Amino acid sequence: MTLSFSAATQKKIDEILRHYPNKRAPLIPVLVLAQEEFGELRDDVKRLVATTLELTPSEVQEAVTFYSQLKERPVGKIHFQVCKTLSCDLAGGEEILEYLREKLGVEANVVTPDGRFSYEGVECLASCDTAPAMFCRGRYFEKLTRDQIDAIIRTGRLE
């Protein structure tokens, strides 16, 4: 069986393509839609994106491996990305990662058994002056605290 986008996702892709002069330009938005639909960017999903945009698989792979928001493996519904570069590390980023390990009971890049949470350390989130920083579900958290993490885990919402 050949992998294909759902009719709803294909409609969104067609709309996106109307706004760009060539098919390479919308690569990131199309990858985001593919990730939303399939949950991860497996090899077959990346090939589908390449075919859809008339790109080579290596062009798609380059984008996937460059952007930390694009995932080649499953992540939890709430995925914490904690900055681990120098400024954030000095301000407590490593302790935040350790706290997530203790609180969630899984190692980095592993989804909790209920599928709700996962976390990872990532390179610079460009928030050195407000370290430690975290990115989660499209939102930045700066001067991150354990209390903020506790509230997200307790409620399942980004408050």
Q: Which residues pair with 78 in a beta bridge?
A: 117
Residues 47 and 16 reside in one and the same domain: yes
Indicate whether 50 and 18 sit together in one domain.
yes
Same domain, residue pair 41 and 102: no
Same domain, 102 and 144: yes
CATH of the domain at 39: 1.10.10
User: Do 100 and 55 belong together in one domain?
Assistant: no
Which pTM was predicted?
0.75
Q: Which two tokens stand for residue 152?
A: 């997200």
Q: How many domains does the chain have?
A: 2
Q: Which amino acid is at 29?
A: P
Q: Would residue 23 count as lying in a domain? A: yes
| Residue 130 pLDDT | 95
pLDDT tens string 52-80:
999 999 999 999 999 888 999 988 989 99
| Residue span of the structural domain in which 23 resides | 7-66
Q: Is residue 77 exposed (0-12), middle (13-18) or buried (19+ Cβ within 10 Å)?
A: middle
Regarding whether 85 and 50 lie in a shared domain, the answer is no
- Give the gyration radius of the chain's Cα atoms: 17
Strand partners, 135: 81, 140
Identify whether residues 22 and 43 lie together within a single domain.
yes
**pLDDT tens digits for range 133-150:** 999 888 899 999 999 999
What does the pLDDT look like over 95-143, one tens digit per residue?
A: 999 999 999 999 999 999 999 999 999 988 999 999 999 998 888 999 9
pLDDT at 101: 97
Does residue 2 sit within a domain?
A: no
How many residues does the structure list for the chain? 159
Q: Which of 85, 82, 60 is nearest to 72 (CA)?
A: 60
